[in-house]
Every structure is written in C-alpha cells, then in structure tokens.
C-alpha cells in the first residue's frame, strides 16, 4: 500500500493543476481537467461505477455497498488544484528513503534543515517525498487523492471487507475558496463526508473560521502637486488612514488557536484611486460579526469626513464555522477517533486556521470533517510528505467504512 500511494502522488504531482484567483471560470484553469481526466480513467480501471465528470470540473464516482445492512452513504473528497502561492509547473518530486534526521539538500541546492524545520525530526526512518527546490510539491491535496484512490482500490480487491455505499469526489478550485461553489450535494448523495486534506498524522478538524472578504476602495482627486493646495485629495493617504484604524494585534502574525484577525492582503493605488483587499477570520460568530461591523463603521466615519463617494467598503461572507453543523452529528467525528485508535494514532483536534471545502459543504447540508493527508510545509518549495503517513491515512479510510458498517 505504501508504494501505491507513493506512485500515485508522484504521478499526480507532475500534472500542473494550479488554480487562478483572478479567473471567473469554473474550474478557474482548464489544466485542472488534465488530472481530472486521468482520475476518471483510473476510477473506471479500479472498478468504481457511476462515474461523472461535469463541465465545471467535479468528478464523482461510486463504490457500491456490499452489505445487507442499512449503512449511511459516506463520501470521501479531495481537491485537484494546487495553490498559486508558488509555481506548480514542472514538479519533479524527490524520494528520500529511511530519512536520517539530518539536513536535506534538494536537487537545486536548497537546504531543508531540521534547525529551521523541526517537524522533520518526526520522520526519522521514514520515506519522504520532497520537492526538488524549484516548485511546490502539491501534496495539498494530491496526497489526499492518492489516499482515496488507493483505499478504493483496496476495498474493490478485498470484497470480504464489508461497507456501505461510498461516494468519491475530486473537485476544483479549493485553493481559491471556490471548491464547493458548484458542488451538487443532492447528486453526490452522501449522508456524511470527509475531506482528506489535513496536515500531519493525527489531524482531525471539525471547526473552521467564519470568513469574509472585504474590498475597500478610496477615491481622490489628482491635481498637479505645484498647485494642489486645498484641491488635491490623495486616495492613498485616505486608504492609509483607514488601515491605521484597524486593530494592531488582531492580525495573522500575532494570533493563533481560536483568535481571529483582520488581514490586509493587497494594497494597490495612486492619487485618484486605491484599493485594499482584506480577509476577516474568526471562529466565534459573534466576534466575526463584530469585526465586519467595525470595518463598516470606519468606512462610514471616513465617508462623513471626505464624502460618501470617497470610500466604499464592500464586505462579502465566504464561509462559516462548520463546527455549528457537525456538532449535532458528532458521531462522525467519534468514528474517526475510533479508527485512529486502531492504528495508535493520537488525534490532534484543533480548529482549522484556514479554509476547507468542508466548511461550505457542511452548510450546504453535507457535514464534512477534515482528516490528515500528511503534507508539511505546504504551498512552497520546502513542502514534503511522509509515505508512512499517507499509508496510515489510507488505512484510516478503510477502517472508517468498516466501522460505519459494523454499527
């Protein structure tokens, strides 16, 4: 099983599937279909049925039930796209067997040292798949895809393992927050689902941020600086004035755990017009609403000072804390913990400080916790994954479907 997940990850990683936040199509890049078509053929070769790939890049398949019991239909999901934070073109994964705990020199000469990446020490003796130093790896989330595919193949080849109906979904555009936007929950037909999209061994997540995006636009009047007195209105300084009113400590670099933040991500402008893009994040819904209200209030105050057209603050909710939808069905989390215990995996139950397709899917009627897939140092050239962790994730999938059948 270990060699299977390695082979699959390496093969999938070499296919460029980066999504594009600036695109308004679904999927945001047509190259995501390059992997989706490979997966569609592979699902058929493994023996899954009811395989569909729609024009928006959602690939569904079924492993039919082999039990007479009434078992909930389970879904397992992973996303095909990789982040645009770092290049995913010409990915050349490197394999390191029996890792010795020392610094790793990547193919292009970059050094990944345990002094800087202490998480490496957790993998002594294991097989690591790394980048060559020139690209990201794409274990987020091609490790999850490899694990689901390998688990499905194992279940087909071992029909003595009883399970209910299983649905598989490989989806586009998770990295730009649009993964579930055109996901047909009714067509998928699962009662519960799991995303295989977490990090190190043992991660189990069922709480996420409440999230909103904010676009602030300031508008000024450009006059030659030599004759600008009492005439020029500088949109840049107006934007800076807005930013100076934002909380200084509620920012990503100063928060962790359940602490929320307001994060300025982009600033672009000139005298006439400046735009700023923010994200608001908080696990607590009331605090989330307070942050939105505060930003709107600051915008209103600047309108009163400079004029109603001088500044606009557009706030759009993106997703909500999936814990609100999963807590009423906590048995789906308890079953994962039970599966972990069989393999002596200690659950790491922490809130997700980021997004996951499960956040939106849970509010669409499909409760979807997130399980580890193994990736570390994701979204960059120092990304790596342990083959042993991927193997454990595959075994956890197989155990979960058995536990549901046995209840």
DSSP assignment of 193-214: EEEEEE-STTEEE--B-EEEEE
At which residue do the structure tokens 């915008």 appear?
Answer: 299
How much is the pLDDT for 173? 94
**Annotated catalytic residue: which of 16, 42, 141, 174?**
174
Is 266 assigned to a binding site?
Answer: no
Residue 350 pLDDT class (50, 70, 90 cuts): confident
Average of per-residue pLDDT values in the chain: 96
How much is the pLDDT for 147? 98
**Annotated catalytic residue: which of 16, 42, 81, 141?**
81
How much is the pLDDT for 161? 97
Q: Before 27, cis peptide (omega within 30)?
A: yes
Is 140 assigned to a binding site?
Answer: yes
Residue 176 is given by DSSP the state G
Examine the residue annotation and report whether 54 is marked as an active-site residue of this protein: no
On whether the CB atoms of residues 363 and 322 are closer than 8 A, the answer is yes
Is 357 assigned to a binding site?
Answer: no
Average pLDDT over residues 173-193: 94
How much is the pLDDT for 128? 98
> At residue 353, does pLDDT exceed 90?
no
> At residue 6, does pLDDT exceed 90?
yes
Express each pLDDT in 241-281 by its tens digit. Answer: 999 999 999 999 999 999 999 999 999 999 999 999 999 99
How much is the pLDDT for 354? 74
Is 379 assigned to a binding site?
Answer: yes
Express each pLDDT in 130-174 by its tens digit. Answer: 999 999 999 999 999 999 999 999 999 999 999 999 999 999 999
CA dist 358 to 77, 119, 288, 323, 362, Å?
Answer: 9, 26, 19, 10, 6
Which two structure tokens, joined as six digits, stand for 397? Answer: 């999938």
> At residue 198, does pLDDT exceed 90?
no
- By the 10 Å C-beta count (0-12 exposed, 13-18 middle, 19+ buried), 8 is classed as buried
Which two structure tokens, joined as six digits, stand for 11? Answer: 């093969």
Asked whether the CA dihedral 282, 285, 286, 289 is positive or negative, the reply is positive
> At residue 228, does pLDDT exceed 90?
no
> At residue 389, does pLDDT exceed 90?
yes
> At residue 355, does pLDDT exceed 90?
no
3-state secondary structure of 42: helix
How much is the pLDDT for 304? 97
3-state secondary structure of 105: strand
Is 283 assigned to a binding site?
Answer: no
How much is the pLDDT for 199? 93
Examine the residue annotation and report whether 132 is marked as an active-site residue of this protein: no
Express each pLDDT in 47-105 by its tens digit. Answer: 999 999 999 999 999 999 999 999 999 999 999 999 988 999 999 999 999 999 999 99
Residue 399 pLDDT class (50, 70, 90 cuts): very high
């Amino acid at each position: 099983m270990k060699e299977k997940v390695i082979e699959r990850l390496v093969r999938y990683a070499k296919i460029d599937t980066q999504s594009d936040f600036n695109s308004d199509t679904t999927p945001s890049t047509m190259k995501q279909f390059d992997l989706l078509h490979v997966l569609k053929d592979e699902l058929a070769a493994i023996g899954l049925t009811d395989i569909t790939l729609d024009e928006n890049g959602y690939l569904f398949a079924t492993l039919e039930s082999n039990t007479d019991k009434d078992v909930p239909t389970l879904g397992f999901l992973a996303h095909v796209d990789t982040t645009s934070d770092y290049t995913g073109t010409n990915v050349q994964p490197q394999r390191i067997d029996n890792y010795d705990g020392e610094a790793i020199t990547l193919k292009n000469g970059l050094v990944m040292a345990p002094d800087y990446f202490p998480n490496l020490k957790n993998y002594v003796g294991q097989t690591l798949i790394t980048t060559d130093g020139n690209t990201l790896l794409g274990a987020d989330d091609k490790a999850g895809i490899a694990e689901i595919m390998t688990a499905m193949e194992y279940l087909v080849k071992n029909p003595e393992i009883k399970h209910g109906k299983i649905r598989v979904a490989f989806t586009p555009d998770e990295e730009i927050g649009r993964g579930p936007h055109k996901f047909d929950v009714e067509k998928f037909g699962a009662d519960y689902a799991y995303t295989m999209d977490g990090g190190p061994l043992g991660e189990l997540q069922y709480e996420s941020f409440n999230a909103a995006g904010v676009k602030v636009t300031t508008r000024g009047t450009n006059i030659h600086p030599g004759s600008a007195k009492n005439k020029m209105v500088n949109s840049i300084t107006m934007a800076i004035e807005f930013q100076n009113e934002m909380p200084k400590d509620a920012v990503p670099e100063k928060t962790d755990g359940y602490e929320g933040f307001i994060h300025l991500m982009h600033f672009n402008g000139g005298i006439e017009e400046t735009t700023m893009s923010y994200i608001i994040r908080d696990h607590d819904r009331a605090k989330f609403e307070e942050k939105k209200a505060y930003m709107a209030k600051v915008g209103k105050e600047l309108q009163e000072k400079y004029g109603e057209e001088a500044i606009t603050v557009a706030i759009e909710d993106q997703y909500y804390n999936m814990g609100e939808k999963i807590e009423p069905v906590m048995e789906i989390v308890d079953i994962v913990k039970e599966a972990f215990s069989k393999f002596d995996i200690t659950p790491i139950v922490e809130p997700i400080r980021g997004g996951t397709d499960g956040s939106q899917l849970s509010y669409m009627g499909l409760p979807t916790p997130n399980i580890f897939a193994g990736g570390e140092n994701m979204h960059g050239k120092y990304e790596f994954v342990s083959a042993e962790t991927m193997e454990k994730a595959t075994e956890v999938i197989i155990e979960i479907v058995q536990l549901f059948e046995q209840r």
